[in-house]
Structure 1
Amino acid sequence: MRVDVSKIPFSYPGSYFAINRMGTYEDEPEGLYIRSLHKDVYRQRVARLVLLHEGNPVPFAEEASAASIALRSEFGSAVICFEDPTTLQVQTENVSIRFEFIRASHVVPYGAKQCEVNSDGSREHIRLTSAAGDLIVNTSWNGDNADYVNIDFAPSAGATSAEGALELYRDSITWKERTYSSFTDSLQAATDLFEAYEQSALPLPERYSEARQLAVYLNWMVQVRPYENITRPTMYASKSGMCGIWSWDHCFHAMAVAEQDPELAWHQWMLVFDHQDQFGALPDTITDNYLVRGYVKPPIHGFALKWIMEHTDWVTNDHLLEAYPSLAKWTEWWFNHRDSDKDGMPEYHNGNDCGWDNSTIFADGMPLESPDLATYLIIQMETLETIARKLGMLAEANSWKIRSQQLFDNLLEHFVDEGRLKARRAGNHEFVESKSLILYLPLLLGEKLPKGIRDRMIEELKVEGAFLTEYGLASERLDSAWFEEDGYWRGPIWAPPMFLLSHALSQLGEEEFAKDLAGRFCDLVAKSGMAENFQAKTGRALRDPGITWTSSIFLLLGSKYA
């Protein structure tokens, strides 16, 4: 497997560091960089990697796999692997490797084989230790700070190779003395770790073997360890651009790893509830250093928890006792704090709240009552009913059952217009005309939906050239006046609705159509990669090129429906 580090970074489970090829930015030239994923930094780029031959920089090409990244030139090469989430091991052959630190304030030598760099811009301290060869410190002082700090691992006179370790740490100004493994041992350990993870991941048809390996790598390396706001081991949305957790992405990640690593899935699902506010709302976004509470995300959490419960027996009553009050509080929040006209139908106050940020259902304004939100809440209350019965809380279970049925009845009364489901403006209750795919998500309600409504929706989804393209379902009908090739939720194909609708159709007995949709999307990912979304007509990758809900849903669809 080869990883294109201009799109998907080379990283390691638990790590907040990655290696990427990056373009020119301000005074930072194009090149291969060690990056910090922490969100409190002035400079994300920690150090640029340079190969030297006889003291001069030479061109190189990088070749990355799950366990290592090699920098290869016509003169020799350097190979880098992770020993642990904060330590990189380096081995060179016939060349030296230089770390050009970005805006480092100073460097302090500790004998001939070790030095410490203060990388003020990225808030990291870096301890570099030579295990074989020479450690060469290059710097100049301007009376206040260093003009530059370059550190080389170089072969000693008469030798051809060098080896060393680079450790990044930020929680103390003081380095804790330690020893490092050899490069060979670290590389073997990283190789074994990935191979074990790959073997336990969801199986896919053979034709997707190469894409599966890349998806598994992405889900493997995108994990981060607990740190500040990250209260549990979890998976980031990306280690490319979207370095953080969004409060519905995490549900798809949890479902994708539930059978492989149910404990990780549980922490992935629960983490957002660690930051639930006093009223029951969940943050929109969580990173290690900040929370975004300006928006929320849709209540898909009940659907996800139901999936995890059905696909693993790992979830015990103790886990459910932990989850139940938080999920109930989140559900109540929508009725108590997102119903401005008090009609019993919760509403979105912004497109960001529903995850489909600029969907055309929001084109006429806010607040908006939408059938997808009611659908999520109906399923969430059904999940709460199931949990309450498991826990022997029969009165609460019966209450959730009654309330979910009431909301379903309200959905049919509220959103059906001329045999279709439509969104409505809260307050004046005017219907909103839209050709967004989001209006088909109520198929998740299955046979509860009146047959005429669901049959019409299914037939409309089957029409080639309407929503359906060679690559899957466009987020906006292709004949819509609002359709844009790179319009975010106004045209491109996205992983979440592809999974949700494939699942819904399968549950409704439309197995062949579900299989067809899953196959189209999996073929798209195998062709175009793990991008955030895709151009509906051509399949071209758009936006963040390495995002975890695409890899997660590729694994789910390929395993369960394709």
Structure 2
Amino acid sequence: MSAVTALGIDLATTPFSRRGSYFAVSHVTDQRESGLHLRTVRGDARHREIVRLLLDDSAEATSHTTAGRLTLQRDGTRAEVVLDGPDRACVRVQGGTLTLDFRTASQYDSVLQESERTWRFIDSGANRNYRIRVLGGTPRFDARWDGTRNSRARVRIDAAHDTATIVIDEYGSAVPTRPVEHPDVVAAAAQRDFDAWCRTHGGEACDDPEIGGTVRLAAFVTWAALVPAGGALRRESMLMSKNRMTNVWSWDHCFNAMALWRDPHAAAGQLLAVFDHQDAHGCLPDYVNDAGVERNFVKPPIHGWAVAHLMDRGGLDDDMVEALYDPLRRWTEWWFEHRVYGDDGVPSYNHGNDSGWDNATTFGVAVPVQSPDLLAYLALQMETLARIAGRRGRDDEATAWTRRADDTVRILCDRFWNGDRFVARSTLTGRVIDSESLLTFMPLVLGDRLPLSTREATVRRLLDGGYLTPHGPATEPPDSPHYEPDGYWRGPIWAPSTLLLVDGLRRSGRPGLADDIADRFLATCGGAGMAENFDALTGAGLRDRSMTWTASVYLSLVSERAGHASHAEGRLRARAS
């Protein structure tokens, strides 16, 4: 793979950023003035757009993206953007003019001139300050002061006869003082880092002529979303996106960790990014970012499933597996100690957000809800705890966890299987909730732990119920009265539900169906990119169009497909010999 391979990305969907940076460049269309914007992805930013970039006074320009450099072109004017560290952006311009159009959206925003070539932007909306230095070229400042604020402020740099470099530093109270490196040096270092990342986590598929471009896009989305330790983040962490979803949610991070199985240190880091914030009761937060932690909601306990997945692939070293035992145990017990509201011992979701399926029809009437997926995840988590305990020589604990897992599956089948399908129930009344949501199929993640007749009936309903579209499994069947093409968890196809189903079907002895669903999803990503979710009937990307868990699931499924092909070739060679 060439060090200068172009990435075929659309800045309107996939931001230009890089590992370790809190800056991103996007083509923004949902603001009062559209165009290319330098943005911040800090967790406490109330307004992310910092400056609009105008080439020769135009908001439009063609773009060419590599991992280390964004090149913008309009006629004879060329601007190159590189990102250096967490808080510095450099723009090199030549051949014409570049205007920095400050996004002074708040009444408290102001741009002041510090010297002939230096300005400071007090950006209260972004909750940060920015220092702008112009090296070379001829700058001109144009601003309007309305008594208390700048309602307009621009710096126009003429580089028609002299290449100019604009250095933009983000800071709190002290401006970064490190030397300015040459943009080519910065870009080359970023490119080398990405190439190594792509080779590691994309594997041989990076060179596949059919899917290599999509593999590189998925690798870029994950790599570019990494931010450094700092603030509430205690280690390098992968945000869900550098568009709007700029947090690490407490089940999304599991899928990101699973995609990094070839690098156990990196995989462990993504798991621990959330476990770092487990509270005294064992609860994991809803999400974390550099600015803080959100605890009003939680997310489903798929962590044991994810850890087992990584263990099966050598994706966690022995010390890390043992270190995860107590956090997993406490997280499991929390559900039974703090989310059981009656005497049946079954935990509940307080809101759709707790399940990760925010507005699924299982939550359409009232909460709290007892949903069958929750018991399935907890049973898998108990099995993982039993497995780790056995590795540690704690046979009594392993036996106890295995017994609890068996009991949990038994309760799931006794209480939530109605003879034809799994159902969700109102916690307070015990009544069955009228819902066709794909959420009720998630017990399939138990694989062959479910009784054979239950598995077969559930798979038959999946196939006969209209859920499986040409693009993957719809979260609400298209013929449901509650189906919405862009209805979030009421229709669109999502990466996490797809991977959970594929894994469960594979372990249910249905590898052909698992591969078929995986192939449909991979093809959808190949056509629409790494969107948050996809229209179930057209395959179009929806919502946030650059999501890491979609990219991570894509990489995981590509890896699984390559593994199966390798095993098949091995069997053929063995037969031939």
Question: What is aligned with 1:12?
Answer: 18
Query: Aligned pair in 2 of structure 1 residues 146, 492: CA closer, same or farther (>3 Å)?
Result: closer
Find 2:279's aligned residue among 277, 290, 304. 277
Identify if the C-alpha distance between structure 1 residues 454 and 298 changes in structure 2 by more than 3 Å, giving closer, same or farther: same
Q: After superposition, what is the alpha-carbon deviation per residue over 1:334-387, rounded to whole angstroms, capped at 9, x for unaligned? A: 111111112122221211111112222223422222221110000001111111
> Could you report, residue by residue, the CA deviation over 1:59-103 in whole angstroms, capped at 9, with x for unpaired residues?
533333322222211132111111323222222221122212222
The DSSP-based 3-state class of the residue aligned with 2:331 is helix
Letter in 2 for 1:128: I
**Is 1:233 matched up with 2:236?**
yes
1:119 to 114, 118, 123: 123
- 1:510, CA displacement in angstroms? 1.6
1:51 aligned to 55, 64, 73, which one?
55
AA aligned to 1:467 is Y
In 1, distance between residues paired with 2:472 and 2:30? 35
Is the 1:518–1:557 contact (alpha carbons within 8 Å) kept by the matching residues of 2? yes
1:250 corresponding residue in structure 2: 253
Structure 1 residue 57: Cα displacement? 5.1
Query: CA offsets, 1:284-330, max 9 Å, x none?
Result: 1222224322211100011111112222254222x234322221111
Correspondence for 1:390 = 391
Report the AA paired with residue 458 of structure 1.
Answer: V
Distance in 1 of aligned mates of 2:442 and 2:326: 26
Superposed CA offset, 1:483-510 (max 9, x none): 2222221211111111111111112222
Q: Which residue of 1 aligns with 2:560?
A: 560
Q: Describe how 1:428-507 pairs up with structure 2 within 5 A.
A: 428-463=429-464, 466-507=466-507
Supply the distance in 1 between the matched residues of 2:332 and 2:442 (Cα, whole angstroms).
19
- Whether the 8 Å contact between 2:100 and 2:156 is mirrored in structure 1 is yes
Confirm or deny: 8 A CA contact 2:35 2:60 kept in the other structure.
Answer: no
Amino acid corresponding to residue 20 of structure 1 in structure 2: S
Tell me the amino acid that sits aligned with residue 150 of structure 1.
Answer: R
The one-character-per-residue Cα deviations of 1:437-466 (angstroms, maximum 9, x if unpaired) are 122221222222111111122233334x71
Match of residue 221 from structure 1: 224
Where 1:373 maps in the other structure, the secondary structure is: helix
Tell whether the 8 Å contact from 1:95 to 1:161 is kept in structure 2 after alignment: no
> Which stretch of structure 1 is more off in the superposition, 138-147 or 342-351?
138-147
State the AA in 1 paired with 2:269. Answer: H
Q: Distance in 1 between matches of 2:461 and 2:355?
A: 23
Secondary structure at the aligned position of 2:153 is classed as strand
The amino acid that maps onto 2:12 is S
* SS of match in other structure, 2:393: coil
SS at match of 2:328: helix
Q: Which residue of 2 aligns with 1:348?
A: 349
- Show CA shifts across 1:8-59 (max 9, x none): 111111222111111253xx5222111111232343211111123xxx5585
Instruction: Tell whether the 8 Å contact from 1:16 to 1:38 is kept in structure 2 after alignment.
Output: yes
Q: Partner residue of 1:267? A: 269
Higher alpha-carbon deviation: 267-276 or 491-500 = 267-276
- Deviations 1:203-222 (CA, angstroms, capped at 9, x unpaired): 33542211111111100101
Query: Which amino acid is 2:337 matched to?
Result: N
Aligned to 2:187: 187
User: Who is 1:96 aligned against?
Assistant: 97
SS at match of 1:201: helix
**What is the aligned partner in structure 2 of residue 105 from structure 1?**
110
**Distance in 2 separating the partners of 1:42 and 1:451:** 52
TM-score (norm. length: structure 2): 0.90
Alignment of 1:167-206 (within 5 A): 167-170=169-172, 172=173, 174-203=174-203, 204=205, 206=209
- Per the TM alignment, residue 422 of structure 1 is displaced from its structure 2 partner at its CA by 1.7
TM-score (norm 1): 0.92
In 1, Cα distance between equivalents of 2:258 and 2:552: 8
**Structure 1 residues 165 and 331 mapped into 2: Cα distance closer, same or farther (>3 Å)?**
same
Q: How far did residue 141 of structure 1 move?
A: 4.9
Match for residue 84 of structure 2?
83
Counterpart position of 1:424: 425
1:146 deviation in Å? 4.5
With over 3 angstroms needed to count, the CA separation of the structure-2 counterparts of 1:180 and 1:461, relative to structure 1, is: same
The aligned runs of 1:284-433 (5 Å cut-off) are 284-312=286-314, 314-317=316-319, 319-433=320-434
Distance in 1 of aligned mates of 2:234 and 2:149: 36
Residues in 2 aligned to 1:22 and 1:313: alpha-carbon distance in whole angstroms: 38
SS of equivalent to 1:421: coil
Task: Indicate whether 1:38 and 2:39 are aligned.
Answer: no
Pick closer, same or farther for the CA change 1:342–1:14 going to 2, 3 Å: farther
2:81/2:90 contact within 8 Å kept: yes
Q: Distance in 2 between matches of 1:533 and 1:24?
A: 19
SS in 2 for 1:121: coil
**Do the aligned partners of 1:102 and 1:121 also contact (CA within 8 Å) in 2?**
no
Moved more, 6-15 or 42-51: 42-51
* Structure 1 residues 110-147: Cα deviation after superposition (integer angstroms, max 9, x where no partner): 4x554444334323333333444344444455565545
- Residues matched between the structures, number: 549
- Indicate conservation of the 8 Å contact 1:96/1:162, yes or no: no
Moved more, 454-463 or 266-275: 454-463
**Residue 211 of structure 2 is aligned with which of 208, 217, 229?**
208
Q: Which amino acid aligns with 1:475?
A: T
Unaligned runs of 5+ in 2: 1-6, 563-577
Q: Return the alpha-carbon distance in structure 2 between the equivalents of residues 121 and 354 of structure 1.
A: 32
- In 2, Cα distance between equivalents of 1:431 and 1:331: 25
* Corresponding residue for residue 539 of structure 1: 539
* 1:164/1:234 CA distance change after superposition, 3 Å: same
Query: Is 1:527 aligned to residue 530 of structure 2?
Result: no
Task: Describe the shift of the 1:452–1:206 C-alpha distance in structure 2 as closer, same or farther (beyond 3 A).
Answer: farther
Q: CA deviation at 1:332?
A: 0.5
398-407 or 138-147, which moves further after superposition?
138-147
Taking the aligned partners of 1:520 and 1:140, their CA distance within structure 2 comes to 54
Deviations 1:390-409 (A, max 9, x none): 22333322221221111122
- For 2:110 and 2:212, the matched residues in 1 are separated by 46
| CA distance in structure 2 between the aligned counterparts of 1:120 and 1:492, rounded to whole angstroms | 37
Look up the equivalent residue of 1:285 and give its one-letter code: Y
1:171-229 residue CA offsets vs partner (Å, 9 max, x unmatched): x2x32433111122122222222222211123335422111111111001011112222
Percent sequence identity over aligned pairs: 34
Q: CA deviation at 1:561?
A: 3.4
